[in-house]
Structure 1
Amino acid sequence: MKALRPQLSLVVGICLITLGLTASTANAQSVCLPAPRLLTTMPMGGQAGTTFEIKIAGEDIDDAEELNFSHPGITAEPKLDKNGLPIANQYVVTIAKDCPVGVHEARVMTRLGLSTSRAFNVGDLTEAVQTPGKNDSLESAMQLDLNSICNAIMTSRKIDYYSFEAKEGQRVVVDCAAKGIDSKLNPVVIIANERGMDLVVERRGGMLDFKVPQTGKYVIKVHGLTYDGGPHHFYRLAVKAVQPDELVKRLPSIQAVSAFSWPPAGLTDANIRPEAEPNNKHTEAQKITLPCDITGSFYPAADVDTFEFNAKKGEVWWVEVASERLGRPTDPSIVVQQVTGTGADEKRTDLVELKDIPSPVKVSSNGYSYDGPPYNAGSSDILGKMVIKQDGVHRLQIRDLFGGTRNDPKNIYRLVIRKAAPDFAIVGWALHMNLRNGDRNALSKPIALRGGATMPFEVVVVRRDGFDGEIELFMDNLPEGVTASGVRIPKGKSRGIMLITAEENAPQGYSSANFYGKATIDGKEVTHPCYLASMQWPVKNAWSEIPSPRLMADVPVSVTESEQAPITITPAEDKVFEVTAGEKLSIPLKHIRRSDFSGANITLKTFGDGFEGNPAFDATLKGDSSEAVLDLAKLKPAPGEYNIAFYGYAVARYRENPTGVALAEAGLKQAKLEAEALSANADKLAKIAESAPDAERPGANSAAKEAAAKAKAAQSDITKADKQLKAAVARAKPKDIVDIIVSTPIRVRVNPAKKAQ
């Protein structure tokens, strides 16, 4: 963890009208307190073993300090000007020679804590950087060497042109990374001849595999599918010369949220077996024995792979397929049939049909945070079981439901059939508010904590092979002054909550945290990491942009000293609250208010295994205390230890960086003092020049002229400082912002009811 110098899908199901707000008022409000977001880096990556300069841009990162990365092999230092001072948002990045090739995370530390991540790529090819607008014609095509990558930004309504030299018979692969590196670009990539006549075209984000017809110069054209562009439409274009029989990998890509559940623990390639074509027809079925681990592809178009095996009545086998979770645009489906008779007397009876891994929790019905999370932990892959009903021959057929017209050998799959191996995989994301007033936000939310704040994370589980036990949630390696408390995933359920809390006076700092879950399976303690998911881009009230979540490479946690939470709701006593089963428990709450609010009360619900059925209750936003009452006769939690918390949302009158006003005032005052001193000096030197002897007059005039220039520049500094003060005052004016409010975690011990005498 690291200390620095000073410098939240919430399912509330409550309309803003319950706070006495009209829809028109609510639509005018912002959602969630400001958070730092890194949106672009240029370039988007680099070659291992090199040092290069990088520029960044984003939201609420004006005071960016250090740029850091998820892998220690990537480091950055601020770029300095000629006076040795840091240049805003520019850094010098060094990638170690042994840094793994692939997608890592970049983020920047700011006044408000660590920003959201942006994909940062490490490769093994020579890197180049495009100058936007300089290669938008055939005549100005940018020359690329074979086996190189160009980092570029797509200009709206333009085509980018590149050229390369190749020899007859040479195999050249052109790959354009965009969606896979957090870009908003849907690229169209074309290889043309020297005159710009199209030879091969890729419109669906695929890779161009080109056999050079004759030695010479060739042109690559890149444009958006709808000719869109701008700073968020960046891409990495790779041009590679490869061997005729070489299996070419795509450029590294970020992972979809669904990928968290693959692979199963302990899976290796030791027993993997390839499918053997032809195996489309029942008469061509590939014979296998169970258990098995098979790799294949949905190729050619409309491919159906058929496997035949023997099994005995009563056997239970678990079937898992990975394809979509491997990053392929596929939808696997399996039908298993029992086979009796032979030849013309053969009869096939359906045993089971398997498709899709359902989301562990209900996902938002409109793709935004409306009536559920805008994250889907389910997959179009397969995880299910088949129960053998009688001894004999069985056949399994696997196909891609999207594969009727797709002819891509890279649409691979992995089929695993095994005896039950109970297990679990978990993923978490920052809770979002489900507002019913037309708001369509799906914000990228870094774990950047204000002092006194508790940030809730929803954690969901995909259970394997019949495991239904409870899962305890943990987080450690946190910054100083930050604690985490898990609200467990109950037995047979799919959802828990992780609460991350910053003390009121926690020092500014950050760390890469460990986030994990524990369960007891077959008498043994099993621990698995909890993957973190986040939105690639902050979507704010946008009807035209589809949210795009992905998995993160790590779990960065930060805390800021610059601001504190608008309110902290905490138990009045730091203790374990004890209650006897069937009785009522009253918990006195203390409110530490640091902001004004629109509305007198906040409606609170309850997090906690066995306690989420507690009725919502109102707590004051004007006073310093309230009380929560839990009726255990109605809730009926089992005896034991629990972590609970109370949550809701409120409209805070947020003031952005009020200390910035004082700093700007001090800056203006200093600028005026310096200007006065320089003006006085200029007047003095002007008078000296007027009365200087002829021999000394040229030097005196020169000194007076230089002093006058400095005085004039100082007046410009006053104007600049005055604008900065006005901007700081404008930012610091109270603004209505709807945000999640979560109490600090509360420990409850339910004791068994006393037995009747």
Structure 2
Amino acid sequence: MPSILSVPRFRDAAPGARILCALGLLLAQLCLAPQPVAAQSVALPLPRLLTLTPAGFQRSVAGSEPTTIEVKVSGENLDGWEEGGQYVPPQLLFSHPGITATALLSAEGKPEKDRYLVRVASEVPSGLHDARMMTALGISSGRVCTASDHPETLRTDPAADVSQAFPLAPGIVCNAKATAQVADHYRLELQTGQRVVIDCAARGIESKLRPVLILADATGADLVAERRGGLLDFTAPAPSTYFVKIHDLSFQGGPEFFYRLLVHDLPVGAPLPARQAAVEPVLSFSWPPVGFPATAPAQESEDPDPAAVQQVTLAADAAVALDVAGRFFPAADVDTYQFTAEAGQIWWIEVASERLGAPTNPAVVVQRSLPGAGLVWEDTAEFSDIAAPIKPSTNHYAYDGPPYESGSADCLGKLEIKETGSYRLQIRDLFGGTRDDPQAIYRLVIRKAAPDFALVCWPLHMELRNGDRAALSKPLALRGGGTVSLEVAAIRRDGFDGPIELAVSGLPEGVTATGLRIPAGATRGQILLTAAESPPRAFAGVAISGKGLINGQSIERPCRLAGHCWPVRDGWSEIPFPRLIPETLVSAGGLEKAPLTLRSTAPEPIEVAEGGSFTVPLELLKRGEVSGAQFQMRVIGAGFEQQPGFELNVAAPAPVTFDLAKLKIPPGDHVLAFITSAVTKYAPAAVTKLAPDAVGEAQPPAAADVAEILVSQPVHVRVTPATKEATP
């Protein structure tokens, strides 16, 4: 719960304290200031939708006309294009067909730049929906927007002090953006004993804001502050005007620091309301297990006695012996579940808490009661973190791993009962020793083995060693002749260790996909998306999946796509935060072609006998100036990663030979590809002169060095069984 604070004002501090405070603020500003841009940029330009103002809207009532709202967008490379001699403005698209947008027209009948009329039909469900732009370069990255059942308002005027405070009322959502260096002020009229819960949605709707909520009295003096989660619970001691102050934790502000403020009017003692909808963190892709209900069928007994024990029965013939929801509440809470088990039983224990959005680190210990020793318990098993399938970056850039966390602080492990007897399972939050948080929820499952897997993927992140700190949002907007690699991570559940075949369906015309198998026991694979030389302009929603053989049956599981909420170009000054993307869109046929295309010129598939060797002749198509005479190449593809790296001559690539006897590649169909990072001279293609904001004969921008991942088109190899010599 928020604590009562007495916060001195800056002008009331002693002179020395004011100097130290000013120096601290100056240092913070210097640390947060944008860093100089290096001469060499990372990654080719891509369209990115960065802000949508307002960040949400009220959906219409069933049976009524659609709600209409004016929306302003901003981003990178959100240009329109020319088609049939006509200008086509960039199109604002939404993940639900009931949300549509048309360009806002000026008095002259021309589309206004970055402004749209959005219509929200009554069939649109409340919650988050993705918005994107179709642009000259293809489909943009997404930005979530919220459809709500509440009336909405937009604050545009300054609210830097109590005299400018914006009026708030319970049940109305206020959309706003944080102001740098000051707090936004809101006015709230409350009666004696009236309880309000103030919910500030920020990080959950992809804002950069880390909100600090303060409730002040009629004079502006602070009463209550909340700095952790954007939720403040307050009961008025007297009828009065109160003020709500909001600022970023480091007092940053601007369009990227948007938020949605909602005040709930609740009876004293009522449970906290559901939070405003929030995006899913990447690590949540592995929850829930297939077939499990969205909510647990049982609830923990919240006995105030810390020594309370909950008796459970682990039925030997039950597939799921226990599925219970609980809370790490109050502080230092330890929940105990006691049961009897027989020697030889094997159970799998899984806990979800961080994957449910709680800021927790659950830990489980299982103990056995020692016979004849009274109440003496002996540890038999401990369960903690779910290891990341691919080691993530430890410094938020690709120096030692991708900037995505696919592991979790949650628990998953096998419990083998060695001796018949009485056992107890204790679950606690390692972060919860002093924190009272009723939203620190968990779900505990004890089940028989159900081998399975869960998949997540993201655009391959560049691994430069020259000080690059970029973690970029990368929409799947393919340039003609280009190949993009998706890195796939697998969480294996309950002992499943078979190979996983990867596939993509529903691709737009001119785009093909090739899955590089996840080998048995491995947790990493890749998918290659390749665009034809001149594909038609199009985009499509695609389905990415993986297939595995479990207990003799082919099982297919979806693969979720992850992406960064913001393009972070310097990980030293800004920590990236990614999320799961609900809809995977792929586009091709944009304004530009890939600067490089690396491909095999051999007929495919290349056929070779088991234990033999084969050669891949290579061709490098260059559509611009290349920096350097050689590329340091490596090979990807199940079994082929053992192939030594090699130098590729940019002017005349030499063929590459593979020895299957050394690589121990078994018979069957296989796929490999070549990968490196390359620096090319890049100059953006000219935007159509028909655009409303086109400026005469503008000077084209100069070409600049851009480092980008170069992935070859896939090479298909068919290995046939070796012919056995006849015995004389």
TM norm structure 1: 0.86
Indicate which of 228, 251, 255 corresponds to 2:252: 228
Determine if contact 1:165/1:217 at 8 Å carries over to the other structure: yes
Indicate which of 722, 739, 755 corresponds to 2:708: 739
Code of the residue aligned with 2:452 in structure 1: it is D
Q: Secondary structure at the match of 1:451?
A: coil
Alignment root-mean-square deviation, CA:
2.0
* Cα drift, residue 270 of structure 1: 7.9
Post-superposition CA distance 1:647-692 (Å, at most 9, x none): 11211111211x44xx55x99xxx9xxxxxxxxxxxxxxxxxxxxx
* Cα drift, residue 262 of structure 1: 0.4
Q: Does 1:755 align with 2:724?
A: yes
Distance 1:468 1:36 in 2: 39
Q: Does 1:491 align with 2:520?
A: yes
* Cα drift, residue 224 of structure 1: 1.4
Partner of 1:35: 46
Partner of 1:195: 219
Distance 1:270 1:125 in 2: 26
Partner of 2:126: 101
- Between stretches 31-40 and 299-308, larger displacement belongs to 31-40
Partner of 1:263: 288
- Between stretches 99-108 and 495-504, larger displacement belongs to 99-108
Distance 2:678 2:395 in 1: 24
Partner of 2:90: 65
Distance 1:395 1:450 in 2: 58
Q: Secondary structure at the match of 2:478?
A: strand
Q: Does 1:651 align with 2:676?
A: no
* Cα drift, residue 472 of structure 1: 0.8
Distance 1:473 1:171 in 2: 52
Determine if contact 2:177/2:257 at 8 Å carries over to the other structure: yes
Q: Does 1:212 align with 2:236?
A: yes
Distance 2:620 2:248 in 1: 52
Q: Does 1:317 align with 2:347?
A: yes
Distance 1:542 1:287 in 2: 49
Indicate which of 338, 346, 356 corresponds to 1:308: 338
Determine if contact 2:396/2:571 at 8 Å carries over to the other structure: no
Q: Does 1:632 align with 2:660?
A: yes
Describe the shift of the 1:216–1:280 C-alpha distance in structure 2 as closer, same or farther (beyond 3 A): closer
* Cα drift, residue 606 of structure 1: 1.2
Distance 1:159 1:348 in 2: 54
Q: Secondary structure at the match of 1:416?
A: strand
Q: Does 1:168 align with 2:137?
A: no
Post-superposition CA distance 1:504-532 (Å, at most 9, x none): 11011111111111111111221111111
* Cα drift, residue 539 of structure 1: 1.3
* Cα drift, residue 497 of structure 1: 0.3
Post-superposition CA distance 1:535-592 (Å, at most 9, x none): 1111113421112111111111111331101121222144211111111111122322
Indicate which of 439, 449, 452 corresponds to 1:420: 449
Distance 1:438 1:652 in 2: 18
Distance 1:469 1:555 in 2: 26
- Between stretches 47-56 and 377-386, larger displacement belongs to 47-56
Determine if contact 1:176/1:187 at 8 Å carries over to the other structure: yes
Partner of 1:482: 511
Code of the residue aligned with 1:91 in structure 2: it is Y
Q: Which has the larger radius of gyration?
A: 1
Q: Secondary structure at the match of 1:563?
A: coil
Partner of 1:112: 137
Distance 2:624 2:400 in 1: 29
Partner of 2:73: 56
Determine if contact 1:580/1:750 at 8 Å carries over to the other structure: yes
Alignment of 1:349-364 (within 5 A): 349-364=378-393
Q: Secondary structure at the match of 1:90?
A: strand
Structure 1 or 2: larger helix share?
A: 1
Partner of 1:546: 575
Code of the residue aligned with 2:224 in structure 1: it is V
Partner of 2:17: none
- Between stretches 365-374 and 204-213, larger displacement belongs to 204-213
* Cα drift, residue 240 of structure 1: 1.9
Q: Does 1:378 align with 2:407?
A: yes
Indicate which of 534, 546, 554 corresponds to 1:525: 554
Post-superposition CA distance 1:133-163 (Å, at most 9, x none): 2x21101111122201111111111111111
Q: Secondary structure at the match of 1:345?
A: coil
Alignment of 1:595-614 (within 5 A): 595-614=624-643
Determine if contact 1:27/1:437 at 8 Å carries over to the other structure: no
Q: Secondary structure at the match of 2:695?
A: helix
* Cα drift, residue 390 of structure 1: 0.3
Q: Does 1:47 align with 2:58?
A: yes
Determine if contact 1:337/1:395 at 8 Å carries over to the other structure: yes
- Between stretches 598-607 and 379-388, larger displacement belongs to 598-607
Determine if contact 1:644/1:745 at 8 Å carries over to the other structure: yes
Post-superposition CA distance 1:111-152 (Å, at most 9, x none): 11111111211111111111142x211011111222011111
* Cα drift, residue 597 of structure 1: 0.2
Code of the residue aligned with 1:725 in structure 2: it is A
Distance 1:269 1:457 in 2: 29
Describe the shift of the 1:522–1:542 C-alpha distance in structure 2 as closer, same or farther (beyond 3 A): closer
Code of the residue aligned with 1:227 in structure 2: it is F
Q: Secondary structure at the match of 1:460?
A: strand
Q: Secondary structure at the match of 1:139?
A: helix
Q: Secondary structure at the match of 1:250?
A: coil
Code of the residue aligned with 2:231 in structure 1: it is M
Q: Secondary structure at the match of 2:163?
A: coil
Distance 2:106 2:421 in 1: 78
Code of the residue aligned with 1:102 in structure 2: it is G
* Cα drift, residue 169 of structure 1: 3.1
Partner of 2:163: 139
Distance 2:569 2:678 in 1: 18
Partner of 1:333: 363
Q: Does 1:406 align with 2:425?
A: no
Post-superposition CA distance 1:430-461 (Å, at most 9, x none): 10111111111111111010000010000010
Indicate which of 171, 176, 194 corresponds to 1:152: 176
Describe the shift of the 1:53–1:27 C-alpha distance in structure 2 as closer, same or farther (beyond 3 A): closer
Indicate which of 577, 601, 618 corresponds to 1:572: 601
Q: Secondary structure at the match of 1:284?
A: coil
* Cα drift, residue 277 of structure 1: 3.0
Q: Secondary structure at the match of 2:572?
A: coil
Determine if contact 1:280/1:305 at 8 Å carries over to the other structure: no
Q: Secondary structure at the match of 1:180?
A: helix
Distance 1:95 1:217 in 2: 35
Q: Secondary structure at the match of 1:161?
A: strand
Gaps of 5+ in 1: 1-25, 672-716
- Between stretches 472-481 and 318-327, larger displacement belongs to 472-481
| Percent identity of paired positions between Structure 1 and Structure 2 | 47
Q: Secondary structure at the match of 1:450?
A: coil
Alignment of 1:574-589 (within 5 A): 574-589=603-618
Distance 1:404 1:371 in 2: 32
Partner of 2:23: none
Distance 2:541 2:218 in 1: 50
Distance 2:300 2:229 in 1: 27
Distance 2:492 2:661 in 1: 31
Alignment of 1:434-445 (within 5 A): 434-445=463-474
Partner of 1:11: none
Post-superposition CA distance 1:177-215 (Å, at most 9, x none): 111111111111122233323232211123112223344
Describe the shift of the 1:148–1:533 C-alpha distance in structure 2 as closer, same or farther (beyond 3 A): same
Alignment of 1:447-466 (within 5 A): 447-466=476-495
Aligned residues: 670
